[in-house]
Structure formats: C-alpha cells, structure tokens
Structure 1
Amino acid sequence: MSTRNTAIFDLDGTLLNTIQDLTNSVNYCMKKYGGPVYTCEEIREKVGNGIYVLMEKALPDGRSNPNYDACMKDFPVHYKEHMLDNTKPYDGIIDMLHTLKEHGYKLAIVSNKFDAAVKGLCKDFFADEIEVAIGESPAIHKKPAPDTVFQAMRELNVKPENCIYIGDSEVDIQTAANAGIPCISVNWGFKSTEFLKENGAIQIVSTPKELTESILNQ
C-alpha cells in the first residue's frame, strides 16, 4: 500500500503562469540600464534557476556587467510591486489542489523564486490549500539541491517515502532525483514535452486533471 500523502510543487510554470510579470520586471531593469528588451518566450528560456541566474542570462556579459548588482537590487523591488499584474493560476489548478486536500494530502511549494515573492504569491492564491512555501534565500541551497525540499518535509512532518514532487523543468527533475522522491513533470509551463523527455522526465502530464489522477495513483 502506498504511503504517499504529500505533494510538493514548483511554483512558476507549474501552479502559476508568471511569465508576463517576470518579463516585465526584467525589461524594467534592461530599459533602466541599457540592456536588451525581451519577449516572454525569450524569458521563458532563461527562468528556473532563480533571479541571480535570470539576470545573469539577461544582461550582456552576465555578472561581469557593471550594472548587474544594480539590477539585482531593482528587480526584486519592481517584481514584488507588480507580481500580481498578470499572474494567475493555470486553469484547473485550484480544483486540483482542492481534490488533493479532500484526499488528505499535505501540500507545499518549493521554488527558486526569491522567498518573499514565493510566500506572498502562496498567500495571495493558495492560502486555503498550501501549508508550506519555501523560496530561494541565502540561508539554504536552492534547487536542484534537495535542501529546500527536505525543509518542506520537516515543516510538514513527513518523510521522503510520503512525498512526490511536481514541476515543469529540468531543474525540478534533478531536484526530485536528488531528494530521492518521484517526479511528475507538467508540460503546460515553461518547458516543452520534448525538452522534458530529453532531460529525463519519466512521467509527463498535460492537464491538472491528469495530474490529480497521477498523484492519487502513486
């Protein structure tokens, strides 16, 4: 009999469509400091490893760019002010979370987005469903290190054998492997089915309804 009773989710591209607001905040910094302006599709290819890597990929010459530190100061401020402008859950996500809760599941978010934004977005959209939300901070190694996943387990008082991880990127696949738990990949987020397969995805779902069934059948 399965002992799975906990679902740990990535945030951006998995539960929330955040790409427009992320793009707007990147472009705010680019325009302010003379960098290139990006489309949502271009930013989609750069996200997944936190804002330090996102800005490194966005700025010409990356962290060697003389404006890198200024962008890293301005981006979180602008994003926190505007992260609700266009962001919303993907269709079917709230119903999925409700169903899992009805089946007794504990739910958490583990993201590489900076911690204040993760906790804020969780409170804004999922306060009734998700008990724990952990983002990137200097105090803990980010994904694909398993540290934030293990922290979520501690806060929920569960063990790895109780958990499954759900995400939309190669970082999530690697994180689940490093944590020693199964991973379900979703293809409605920032990475394609082909990309996910090339990066080791074992199980890929296309709708929140399909995801619900997959989680409950683990």
Structure 2
Amino acid sequence: MAKRLHDLIFDLDGTLVDSCGICVDILSQMLAERGSDHRIDALSARPYMSHGGQRMVSALLGPACGDPAAELADFRARYAQRPTDPASLFAGVVENLTLLADAGHRLAICSNKPQNLCDKVLADTGLGALFPVVVGGGPKLRAKPHPDLLDETLRQLGSDPADCIFIGDSELDHQVAQARGIPFLFLTYGYADPSYQPDPASSHDHFTGMAGALLELTRGRRARRA
C-alpha cells in the first residue's frame, strides 16, 4: 500500500498570521482607557509575541499593568470581539495552503493561542475550511514547549509523528517538534527569539518558498510511486 502524504502541522501566530498589529491595538486601547501615557508600537512589541499571553500583556502594559491574570483575561475578551483582518495573513499563505491541501496533504493547527481565538482568527481570515484539525490552548493542555498541544493534534489527526512535518516560526515550535521526533521547517519572518539559531537547510524566508519545497517533495513521492 502506498504511503500517504505527510500531514502538515502549522503554528498560527507568526507563521500564518501576523497578530502583532491587533495585539498592539488592543493593548493601546487598554492603556488609553486608563489614561496612561505609556506607549507601545509594533516594532517594540514584536519580540514579546512568542513569550506567552500573560508575559506579553504584562511586559507591554508596563507600568500600567495591574494583576497579570486579570489583564490577560481582559485582553483576550477584547480580542474575541475584534475581527482579524485577512490582510494580516503573511504573503502567500492563502494560495499556498490551498495548493498544499489540493495536493493531498492534511493540514492542522497547533497553537498556544486559546482555542476560541484560533477558531475565530481562522474564520475571520477565511482559512477555517482548510484545517480539519485545529488545536489551541485550553485549561487541560500545557503550552508549548510542553508537548501536550502537539500530542492532542496528533491524536485528532490519528497520525504518527513519522508521518508529519511541523511548520513554525519560533524556537518553541522547534522544541515541541523535536520532543516528538517530527521534522521541523522554520519561517524566519515570525516571532523567534533573536538568540535562536535555526538550521539554514530547513529555514525559509517566505511562505511561498516553504510551500514550494513541500510541493516538490510531494511531486517526487508521486513520481516514485509511478
């Protein structure tokens, strides 16, 4: 029996969608409402995007931050009410995800972002139909780099790690992929820590180039079957 194509597991923020802008907008609104003169911008906020929700909110609210857990809850409630602009998708995401799905790959999301916000972002940007499996953060699943979210993604896919490829934008994604022995492809434009040193052979500066490499792999496998 012919081996099926790899299942492709994607991180969401920093990999498919640039969420920095909407995060800055929401936090700036929170600052304005409390009369704070503390200011943030997308450039200074970007390094905090992969630090986890509570650390990000605390750091960016700065001296105006109250109880971190309450601030995060407020932030997420506002996020759930704000549409995600499809223009925040990184270049090449829509067309190349479609090509990968049409080629026969199953696509999944594995993200630290809360489940309800993952679902909302995918619906707002028109990507939802491309992903039969979407696993986001929840009370019973520890955040990356713990493997809980990836294990749940594999469970819902009914897939073995050897049959998957993980695509992400940070050292956390790489660590969780390594924990389960899944090949990792790194997108350089996301939210990785500046100290992270990825393997150049598995790194891509553009989503289109990464997808093209996967499609070449797909064509090569089909040619070998023939």
Matched, 1:199 2:201: no
Q: Secondary structure at the match of 2:62?
A: coil
Whole-Å separation in 2 of the counterparts to 1:35 and 1:48:
25
Go from structure 1 to structure 2 and tell me whether the alpha carbon gap of 1:126 and 1:61 turns closer, same or farther (over 3 Å shift). same
Contact 2:54 2:68 in 1 (8 A): no
TM-score (norm 2): 0.83
Q: In structure 2, how many angstroms separate the alpha carbons of the residues matched to 1:183 and 1:146?
A: 14
Q: Distance in 2 between matches of 1:97 and 1:112?
A: 20
Report the alpha carbon displacement of residue 35 of structure 1 after superposing the two structures with TM: 7.2
Query: What residue is the counterpart of 2:52 in the other structure?
Result: 50
Q: Partner of 1:16: helix, strand, or coil?
A: coil
Partner of residue 180, structure 2 = 179
State the percentage of identical aligned residues: 25
Q: Give the aligned CA root-mean-square deviation in angstroms.
A: 2.4
**Aligned to 2:99, what secondary structure does the other structure show?**
helix
Distance 1:39 1:97, change over 3 A: same
Question: 1:209 corresponds to which letter in structure 2?
Answer: T
Q: Which protein shows a greater Rg?
A: 2
Alpha-carbon distance in structure 1 between the residues aligned to 2:112 and 2:30: 20
In structure 2, the gaps of 5 or more residues are: 219-226
Q: How do residues 1-218 of structure 1 correspond to structure 2 at under 5 angstroms?
A: 5-33=6-34, 34=36, 36-60=38-62, 66-85=66-85, 88-124=88-124, 125-191=126-192, 195=194, 198-202=195-199, 203-216=202-215, 217=217
- Note if contact 1:108-1:132 (Cα within 8 Å) is conserved in structure 2: yes
For the residue of structure 2 that corresponds to 1:60, the secondary structure is helix
SS of the counterpart of 1:166? strand
8 Å Cα contact 1:50/1:114 also seen in 2: no
- Could you give the per-residue CA deviations for residues 39-77 of structure 1, whole angstroms, max 9, x where no partner exists? 101211101143122123224379xx5442431221011
Alpha-carbon distance in 1 for matches of 2:41, 2:135: 28
Say if 1:50 and 1:136, in contact at 8 Å, map to a contact too: no
Give, in whole Å, the separation in 2 of the partners of 1:38 and 1:60.
9
* Structure 1 residues 8 and 35: alpha-carbon distance in aligned structure 2, compared to 1, 3 A threshold: farther
After TM superposition, give the deviation of residue 24 of structure 1 in Å.
0.9
Counterpart Cα distance in 2 of 1:84 and 1:109 = 17
- Of stretches 136-145 and 70-79 in structure 1, the one that deviates more from structure 2 is 70-79
Confirm or deny: 8 A CA contact 1:21 1:83 kept in the other structure: no
Shift of 1:214: 2.7
Where do 5+ consecutive residues of structure 1 fail to align?
none
TM-score where L is the length of structure 1:
0.86
CA contact (8 A) 1:145 1:175 kept: yes
Q: Distance in 2 between matches of 1:79 and 1:73?
A: 10
Partner Cα distance (1:149, 1:35) in 2: 40
Aligned counterparts of 1:183 and 1:104: Cα–Cα separation in 2: 19
> Which is further off, 42-51 or 82-91?
82-91
Q: What is the letter of the counterpart of residue 164 of structure 2?
A: C
